[in-house]
């Protein structure tokens, strides 16, 4: 369901704090619904698979679901599927049609190990969760940690490829969630002012800048390939989900504006058509200070200062 530009601007001008709390509360209801569905399903499998494209807020959402389940008396462990990447070998790495290494491919995952671990967890056996060292592009066995689920424990595996058939096919009983920012911002005539894909791009631009010190050019250079990977490897499998929900927050368009616009304006005009389109969209949106965003808001995954930063 699209968000109204008029309502957004009126809310930001009148009471941005209340508006942010309202948006967070709506998202919390989605989390509560997902947690309830998972709790009802837990006798069928102890494994939850959570997928979504880049910039969707998978990490914070997984932790929020974990927190909600814990409040229900169900201990839950969140595991990043990125740690199951194979050590990079240029000789065997998957490649795209241009012969370049395809870093978006699900075949970078050690699918056999993942499937073996899912089965072991369901049987109550101990697994050793690996750790992937991105700086060295290799998986470390030394840094792995043991995990064994108690009788009522669950494990959430979150990653962009979690719902791919190569995972789901061998684990048909696992509970499956798909999360993505799916709502556009529209004017009173229903015209799109800001696309949901741009929101995810802006999230990534801010996160790359805040946490990695990278300018917008760095993120934009990778974006086409990220979108290609999404269309090939992620979106086709979203229908495998038991629950799909929208991770966009209406206030984000406003709170991202003062952070993103200066970064976009540093890009030479005309270099990326999407930059010019986003800047035109931002011109119609009231800016909002991020001081109104709660520490436990999903938006904090991209803005920094999250309750979950040190999880």
The tens digit of pLDDT for each residue in 106-165 reads: 888 999 999 999 999 999 999 999 998 877 888 887 888 999 999 889 999 999 999 999
Which residues are registered as beta bridge partners of 244?
178
- Residue (of 121, 154, 136) closest to 85 by Cα position: 136
Q: State the pLDDT at residue 136.
A: 83
SS3 307: coil
Q: Tokens for 200, please give them.
A: 């995810």
CA–CA separation, 264 vs 220, rounded Å?
Answer: 10
User: Which of 100-114, 181-195, 289-303 shows the lowest mean pLDDT across its residues?
Assistant: 100-114
CATH class entry, domain 3-302: alpha beta
Domain ranges of the chain: 3-302
Which residues are registered as beta bridge partners of 154?
76
70 confidence band (pLDDT: 50, 70, 90):
very high
CA–CA separation, 299 vs 277, rounded Å?
Answer: 23
Mean pLDDT over 222-245 rounds to 92
Alpha-helix residue ranges (DSSP H) falling in the chain:
5-14, 16-41, 58-71, 111-122, 165-168, 196-212, 216-229, 252-265, 273-282, 300-303
Distance of CA 297 to the CA centre of its chain: 14
pLDDT digits (tens, 9 = 90+) for 27-51: 999 999 999 999 999 999 999 999 9
Phi and psi angles of residue 242, each rounded to the nearest 5 degrees, phi first: -75, -35
Mean pLDDT over 170-192 rounds to 95
CA–CA separation, 306 vs 71, rounded Å?
Answer: 20
Segment (H or E) for 188:
none
Q: What is the DSSP letter of 239?
A: G
Q: What is the pTM of this model?
A: 0.88
Q: State the pLDDT at residue 297.
A: 96
Site of tokens 């509970």: 175
Q: Tokens for 67, please give them.
A: 């927190």
């Amino acid at each position: 369901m699209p968000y109204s530009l008029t309502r957004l601007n009126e809310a930001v001008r009148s009471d941005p704090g209340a508006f942010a709390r309202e948006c967070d509360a709506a998202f919390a209801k989605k989390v509560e619904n997902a947690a309830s569905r998972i709790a009802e399903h837990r006798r069928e499998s102890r494994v939850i698979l959570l997928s979504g494209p880049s910039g969707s807020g998978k990490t914070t959402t997984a932790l929020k679901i974990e927190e909600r389940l814990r409040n229900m008396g169900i201990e839950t462990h969140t595991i990043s599927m990125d740690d199951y990447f194979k050590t990079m070998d240029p000789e065997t790495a998957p490649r795209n049609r241009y012969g370049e290494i395809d870093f978006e491919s699900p075949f970078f995952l050690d699918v056999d190990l993942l499937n073996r671990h899912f089965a072991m967890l369901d049987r109550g056996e101990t697994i050793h969760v690996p750790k992937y060292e991105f700086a060295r592009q290799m998986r470390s066995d030394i840094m792995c940690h043991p995990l064994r689920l108690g009788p009522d424990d669950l494990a959430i595996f979150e990653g962009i490829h979690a719902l791919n058939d190569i995972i789901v096919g061998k684990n048909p009983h696992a509970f499956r969630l798909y999360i993505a920012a799916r709502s556009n911002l529209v004017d009173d005539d229903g015209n799109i002012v800001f696309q949901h894909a741009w929101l995810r791009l802006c999230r990534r631009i801010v996160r790359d800048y805040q946490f990695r010190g990278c300018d917008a050019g760095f993120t934009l250079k990778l974006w086409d390939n990220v979108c290609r990977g999404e269309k090939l490897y992620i979106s086709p499998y979203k229908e495998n989900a038991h629950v799909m929900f929208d991770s966009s927050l209406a206030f984000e368009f406003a709170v991202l504006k003062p952070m993103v616009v200066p970064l976009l304006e540093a890009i030479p005009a005309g270099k990326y058509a999407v930059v010019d389109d986003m800047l035109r969209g931002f011109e119609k949106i009231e800016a909002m200070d991020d001081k109104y965003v709660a520490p436990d808001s999903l938006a904090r995954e991209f803005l920094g200062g999250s309750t979950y930063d040190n999880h």
